[in-house]
């Protein structure tokens, strides 16, 4: 992909996440086809594309929840370790927010946020708790800290999930359709948190179909179809003058709804 290369070069950012010639199959299904992607430090990249195009898989390969068949993925210049303690350490540096929140159901909101820092980073309980309360405040759910996830609305749960990921002080945050499981009235409260996170300089890779978010917060939009990155452009350019036929087709479908 020459698009991503040129963009990073033009913005002069230090590359933080790099995928080179990444291929991945699920059995006979070729889900990622020679994917190249570079995400610079502080950059916000939105990934969009039709269902089944490999967006989630792409996201998940970056913290190795999904292994790849060939190619290279590096985080901050280091190739992803294969397994074990090293991999766990790497994952601690990559925050991930899931479509279905995946908060730990048997732990309170606060304990959800402190678990990683205490167990994976070795922070003291007091220090982790202080940080957790700050983060819960920041995402607007400080008054829910002692509740269990099931007692919260979807929007609140997703904001807790963002706080849980941020508590690890990650170098990059991955979001896989963070608002698509939410009722419409809760989408904005989550997007607002994400927008302010983007403004604060966090490096983010966001799979989403929320055009508003892409326009307001993204530096680049990456369009995927059939496991390939077909277009990699600035949001305005992508939404107003998409270059690829598939992008045009896809945009016309989601914009008419």
Partner 1 sequence: MEFLTEHFDDFVNGFFRSLSIALWGAVGSLLLGTLLAVFRVSPIPVLQGFGAAYVTLVRNTPLTVLLFGMAFGVPGLGINASFYLFGVVTLILYTAAFVCEAIRSGIATVPIGQAEAARAIGLTFGQSLGLVILPQAMRSVVPPVGSVIIAMIKNSAVVGAAGVGSDLFSVYKRMTSALGYAPLPVLTAVAVAFLIMTLSTGALLALAERRMAVAR
Ligand X SMILES: Nc1ncnc2c1ncn2[C@@H]1O[C@H](COP(=O)(O)OP(=O)(O)OP(=O)(O)O)[C@@H](O)[C@H]1O
Q: C-beta of 230: minimal distance to ligand X in Å?
A: 13
Regarding 56 and contact with ligand X (CB under 6 A), the answer is: yes
Q: C-beta of 57: minimal distance to Mg ion in Å?
A: 8
Closest CA to 169 of 146, 192, 201: 201
Q: Which of 15, 54, 95, 235 binds ligand X (CB under 6 A)?
A: 54
**Residue whose CB is less far from partner 1, 165 or 202:** 165
Cβ-based neighbour number of residue 52 at 10 Å? 13
- By a kind-dependent CB cut-off of 5 to 8 A, residue 256 interacts, out of Mg ion, partner 1, ligand X, none, with none
Exposure of 60 by Cβ count < 10 A (0-12 exposed, 13-18 middle, 19+ buried)? middle
In which element (H, E) is residue 39 found?
Answer: strand 29-40
- By a kind-dependent CB cut-off of 5 to 8 A, residue 57 interacts, out of ligand X, Mg ion, partner 1, none, with ligand X
Q: By CB under 5 A, name the binding residues for Mg ion.
A: 56
- Sign for the CA dihedral angle at 164, 134, 181, 47 comes to negative
Q: By CB under 8 A, name the binding residues for partner 1.
A: 63, 65, 83-85, 88-96, 98, 100, 102-106, 115-116, 119-121, 148, 150, 161, 164-165, 168
**Residue whose CB is less far from ligand X, 112 or 247:** 247
**Residue whose CB is less far from ligand X, 55 or 110:** 55
Q: Phi and psi (nearest 5°) for 213?
A: -65, -45
- Distance of CA 52 to CAs 62, 69, 134, 187, Å? 18, 18, 37, 23
Q: Which stretch binds ligand X (CB under 6 A): 44-52, 103-111, 125-133, 164-172?
A: 44-52
Rounded-to-integer distance, Cα 75 and Cα 37, Å? 12
Q: Phi and psi (nearest 5°) for 152?
A: -105, 155
- By a kind-dependent CB cut-off of 5 to 8 A, residue 121 interacts, out of partner 1, Mg ion, ligand X, none, with partner 1
Rounded-to-integer distance, Cα 99 and Cα 234, Å? 25
**Residue whose CB is less far from ligand X, 121 or 209:** 209
- By a kind-dependent CB cut-off of 5 to 8 A, residue 193 interacts, out of partner 1, ligand X, Mg ion, none, with none
Residue written as token pair 């950059």: 43
**Residue whose CB is less far from ligand X, 55 or 129:** 55
- By a kind-dependent CB cut-off of 5 to 8 A, residue 96 interacts, out of ligand X, Mg ion, partner 1, none, with partner 1
Q: Phi and psi (nearest 5°) for 24?
A: -150, 135
């Amino acid at each position: 992909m020459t698009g991503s290369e040129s963009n990073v070069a033009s913005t002069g950012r230090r590359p933080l996440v790099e995928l080179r010639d990444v291929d991945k199959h699920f059995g006979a299904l070729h889900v990622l086809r020679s994917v190249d992607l570079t995400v610079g430090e502080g950059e916000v990249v939105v990934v969009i594309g039709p269902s089944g195009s490999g967006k989630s898989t792409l996201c998940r390969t970056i913290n190795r929840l999904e292994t790849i068949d060939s190619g290279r993925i590096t985080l901050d210049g280091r190739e992803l370790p294969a397994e074990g303690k090293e991999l766990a350490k790497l994952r601690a540096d990559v925050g991930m927010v899931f479509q279905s929140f995946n908060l730990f159901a048997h732990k309170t909101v606060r304990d959800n946020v402190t678990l990683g820092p205490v167990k994976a980073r070795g922070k003291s309980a007091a220090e982790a708790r202080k940080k957790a309360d700050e983060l819960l405040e920041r995402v607007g759910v400080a008054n829910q800290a002692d509740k269990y996830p099931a007692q919260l609305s979807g929007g609140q749960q997703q904001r807790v999930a963002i706080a849980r990921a941020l508590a690890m002080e990650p170098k990059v945050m991955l979001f896989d359709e963070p608002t698509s499981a939410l009722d419409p009235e809760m989408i904005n409260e989550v997007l607002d948190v994400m927008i302010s996170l983007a403004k604060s300089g966090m490096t983010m890779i966001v799979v989403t179909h929320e055009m508003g978010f892409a326009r307001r917060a993204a530096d680049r939009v990456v369009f995927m179809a059939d496991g390939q990155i077909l277009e990699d452009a600035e949001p305005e350019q992508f939404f107003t003058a998409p270059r690829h036929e598939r992008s045009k087709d896809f945009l016309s479908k989601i914009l008419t709804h």
